[in-house]
Structure 1
Amino acid sequence: MTLQAASKRIGIPRLAFQRNRCLPPRRNMIPAPRINSGPLLERRADRELPAVHNERKWLRTFPIFAVAVGAAMLGIFNYQKSSSSVVSSTLYALRTSSQAREILGDEIYFAQQIPWISGEMNQLHGRIDISFWVKGTKSQGKMRFRSIRPDRMSYFRTEEWSLEKEDGTVVQLLNSDNDPFRQSD
């Protein structure tokens, strides 16, 4: 038996049946909780949604975020350079060079606690051109190392390995007698 036939049997007019059938059931909408109105103890399906505020507070903090991300990237890239084998090898070669020990003294290491390695270190494309400050027991100076690889199948060729003193004079370490980077001909 259909719903319409059942409504005829019990005496509900057809118009009233259709009117009630088309309308959704009535619910009372409960307002959304306000700020500091207490704990929300139950979740109801008939609760109003909170009002959406179209505020752009993030626009004020975005420049701070961008600066923080940029500083972190610079720090990470510099740490990667300072812990590379090229920097370790040049620092070791500087420690074992008699000419550098004569200028800087013993215990040669980075001049700052967190060293800044400036320049390019691109071993994949065959370009290394770095410089950083070093110090010893006597003085400090800026060490520069430059090496290139002419083509993909050749070895790196050192073009410059020098130490700039505090007074501005540059000492070429590449041509000294105990040069670890000297090319054998």
Structure 2
Amino acid sequence: MLQSFKRVHTPLRIATIGLRCVHTTPLLFNQQPIATAPQGVRRPPVSIDRPLPDPFEKKRQNRRYFWVYFVGVSLMCGLIFNYEKTGSPIITSTFYFLRRSSIARTHLGDEISYTSRWPWIVGPLNTVKGNIDIKFGVKGEKGTGEIRLRATRPNKAVPFEIGEFSLVVDDQVYDLTKDPEIEFLI
């Protein structure tokens, strides 16, 4: 590779990491020389021909813009954080379990997914701190329900201890940890 950089005949300089710039021919472009002022002639500095606007002139309008911006940014942050929750491995594993669960298939039917196109997951989902306390809506062919998952862990060396993993359908609570079809290690 070093051999290829020894004799390079290009109109531009070649800069590479760790090697010197090699250039054997002058620039061959039709370039005009940069116009400079003749000796002794001083160019005036760039100046603004009108006064700058006063930023404190429209205080009420600026405050409104600030609050609209603040609300917009807060709303977008909430949507982004919720979107991150929907892509979490905990949510993916929960749906995998639900689709295999006989309790969930009995009450919801097949094709279990979120209740809406824009799902909202309520509660903290922090696997780093070991704190999961979420609930969200699910639906199937037969009906809709709500999943509640509460789990904690004291440190990263131990697995999560599940406090609650239930499906709520028509105000009836079904404990998913007691599913006869799936071996659920607690």
Tell me if TM exceeds 0.5.
yes
Name the CA shift for 1:107/1:117 in 2 (closer, same or farther; >3 Å): same
Q: Which residue of 2 aligns with 1:170?
A: 173
Q: Which amino acid aligns with 2:115?
A: A
Of 105, 128, 137, the residue aligned with 1:124 is 128
Q: Which amino acid aligns with 1:178?
A: E
Q: Which residue of 1 aligns with 2:94?
A: 90
Give yes or no for contact 2:147–2:166 (8 Å, CA) kept in 1: yes
Give 3-state SS (helix, strand or coil) of 1:55's partner.
Answer: coil
Of 97, 102, 107, the residue aligned with 1:103 is 107
Unaligned 5+ segments in structure 2 are 1-43
Name the CA shift for 1:143/1:46 in 2 (closer, same or farther; >3 Å): closer
Give yes or no for contact 2:178–2:184 (8 Å, CA) kept in 1: no
Name the CA shift for 1:78/1:46 in 2 (closer, same or farther; >3 Å): closer
Unaligned 5+ segments in structure 1 are 1-42
Name the CA shift for 1:171/1:45 in 2 (closer, same or farther; >3 Å): closer
Deviation at 1:128, TM superposition (A): 0.9
TM-score w.r.t. the length of structure 1 is: 0.69
Q: Which amino acid aligns with 2:185?
A: R
Deviation at 1:55, TM superposition (A): 1.4
Give 3-state SS (helix, strand or coil) of 2:123's partner.
Answer: strand
Among the aligned pairs, what percent are the same residue?
38
Give yes or no for contact 1:175–1:182 (8 Å, CA) kept in 2: no
Deviation at 1:72, TM superposition (A): 0.2
How far apart, in 1, do the equivalents of 2:145 and 2:50 lie? 67
Q: Which amino acid aligns with 1:61?
A: Y
Name the CA shift for 1:152/1:55 in 2 (closer, same or farther; >3 Å): same
How far apart, in 1, do the equivalents of 2:155 and 2:130 lie? 8
Instruction: Tell which structure's C-alpha radius of gyration is larger.
Output: 1
How far apart, in 2, do the equivalents of 1:47 and 1:84 lie? 54
TM-score w.r.t. the length of structure 2 is: 0.69
Deviation at 1:48, TM superposition (A): 4.7
RMSD of Structure 2 on Structure 1 (CA):
2.0
Q: Is 1:78 matched up with 2:78?
A: no
1:1-185 equivalences under 5 Å are: 48-50=49-51, 52-53=53-54, 54-56=56-58, 57-165=61-169, 167-179=170-182, 181-183=184-186
How far apart, in 2, do the equivalents of 1:98 and 1:47 lie? 76
How far apart, in 1, do the equivalents of 2:69 and 2:182 lie? 47
Give 3-state SS (helix, strand or coil) of 1:146's partner.
Answer: strand
